[in-house]
Amino acid sequence: MVEFAYPWLILALPLPLFAYFLLPAYKERKSSVKVPFFRRLVELTGEKPSRGAVVLERMLFQKAWLLVSWGLIVVAMAKPQYVGEPIVIEKSGRDLMIAVDLSGSMEATDFLNEKSEQIDRLTALKSVLTEFVARREHDRLGLIVFGDAPFLQAPFTEDHQTWLTLLTETQAGMAGMSTALGDAIGLSIKAFEHSDTENRVLVVLTDGNDTGSKVPPVDAAKVADQLGVTIYTIAIGDPETAGEEALDIDTLQRIAEITSGGYYQALDREQLEYVYGQINELEPAIFESLSYRPKQSLHHYLLSIVMVGYLLFFSLMTFVSYNNQRGMTDV
């Protein structure tokens, strides 16, 4: 489909007619040659001298091309453009932050892989997270790791392959041996402050209780709720452990309750997979559709026709004039 960016300029088409009928004709004065025998010349030729003007007549082709070129120029000024079929781009409507506990207890080998071999908690978590992320292909993902302190491993990105690479490179204990759960939630809140979407989800995976946060986890959850962040807490490992490695189930449940999220417990890899399946069902993919129609300007084609036409016409008239002059010389 073709449409005009400035259709009102089409009104300029009749301007030459107004100029032709309303404006006076162009006049040009030229010096004449005075001869002393003018009277004698008149008598010999039998012409009667009088005042007048010579009106140059254009050829029919010139008149026709003048009208055509003016029409092309006016249409070009209106800027015709070809409008293509609508193109719809679906953009993710959700930012999903994953907060992973990298405390020393994540090295505990109490999980089984697909071959029933003993693996540590972090390895199991990475494996299941890879499958989970594959189902969230349209979400913008972020990654926070925490131990003694939280660190933003990956800001929100649509490049899931890079995100997975950064997750794979994490090691238990690289962020310290403690569990700063409250500070990890606080860092997530800071990351969400720069998010343009209102669909904000935080998934926290931990196998211990908060042992070193400056901000209590429950207080951080209240702030997250005010910013519209939904938190899903996942407790990994044996809930009967004691000491610093003991799971603070009450706190994790309270965090999820405050933010209208959910609390889950994963004692093995199968339960961890089930938890991610549940989150997928609770947080279906949300899309923001952007639609546009590509436009290609056509005005330069019209101007090119005018330019090429004038060049050809000028070349033709030059050739004709040259032949006429040559013919007169030969005579």
pLDDT of residue 257: 93
DSSP state of 185: H
Give the residue extent of every domain in the chain.
2-85+294-330, 89-290
In terms of average pLDDT, the best of 10-24, 78-92, 286-300 is 10-24
Tell me the pLDDT tens digit for each residue of 253-285: 999 999 998 898 887 777 788 887 877 776 665
Instruction: Tell me how far apart the alpha carbons of residues 295 and 2 are, in angstroms, rounded to a whole number.
Output: 9
For 27, 39, 45, 57, 242, the CA distances from 49, given in Å and listed in that order, are: 20, 10, 11, 22, 128
Mean pLDDT calculated for residue range 118-132: 85
Cβ 85 vs Cβ 293: under 8 Å: yes
pLDDT, mean of residues 127-156: 87
Q: DSSP state, 10?
A: G
- Reported as a pLDDT band with limits 50, 70 and 90, residue 215 is confident
- The stretch 283-309 carries a mean pLDDT of 77
Cβ atoms of 149 and 185 closer than 8 Å = no
> Per DSSP, which regions of the chain are E strands?
2-4, 80-83, 87-92, 94-101, 111-112, 118-119, 140-146, 150-157, 199-206, 229-236, 262-266, 287-292, 295-297
Is domain 89-290 classified as CATH 3.40.50.410? yes
pTM, to two decimals = 0.60
